[in-house]
């Protein structure tokens, strides 16, 4: 049985290595800080900015690098479908604007007619009708 382990084959295998965590004393930590300086990465220094601000700056830096890469690239030419879509969009926008202008003109005309009709009524009420005596 080549694939199975027996109690005797376990004893023959080399023991697994165990990594121990190296603990350092406060004195050793202070010595490291003096020789190399404090660092945020290993927890020996405090961050002077909030985490949100650090992440925001990293994102802005990454975006700036991305934009710089594509900054000098010429714009992509539009294909036939895109030009057709843009033409339809412009056409529908013109139709909508024309419809709005027509509705506005109709409402304005209606308003002027109403004002004119009202002024005629007021004018008729203000002028007395005097009948001439027939002699």
* The predicted structure's pLDDT at residue 123: 66
| Distances from the Cα of 77 to the Cα of 66, 71, 73, angstroms | 21, 16, 12
* The predicted structure's pLDDT at residue 83: 94
CA atoms of 54 and 48, how far apart (whole Å): 10
* The predicted structure's pLDDT at residue 84: 96
* The predicted structure's pLDDT at residue 120: 78
Band (107; pLDDT cuts 50, 70, 90) = very high
Per-residue pLDDT reduced to its tens digit, 28-84:
878 877 787 766 666 656 667 888 998 999 999 999 999 888 888 887 888 999 999
């Amino acid at each position: 049985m080549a694939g199975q382990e027996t109690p005797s084959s376990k004893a023959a295998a080399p023991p697994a290595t165990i990594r121990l965590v190296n603990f350092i004393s406060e004195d050793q930590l202070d010595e490291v800080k003096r020789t190399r300086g404090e660092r945020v990465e290993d927890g020996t220094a405090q961050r002077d900015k909030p985490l949100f601000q650090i992440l925001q700056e990293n994102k802005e830096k990454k975006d700036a690098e991305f934009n710089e890469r594509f900054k000098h690239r010429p714009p992509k030419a539009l294909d036939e479908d895109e030009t057709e879509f843009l033409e339809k969009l412009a056409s529908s926008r013109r139709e909508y604007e024309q419809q709005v202008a027509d509705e506005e003109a109709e409402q304005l005309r209606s308003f002027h007619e109403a004002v004119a009709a009202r002024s005629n009524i007021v004018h008729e009420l203000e002028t007395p009708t005097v009948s001439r005596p027939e002699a």
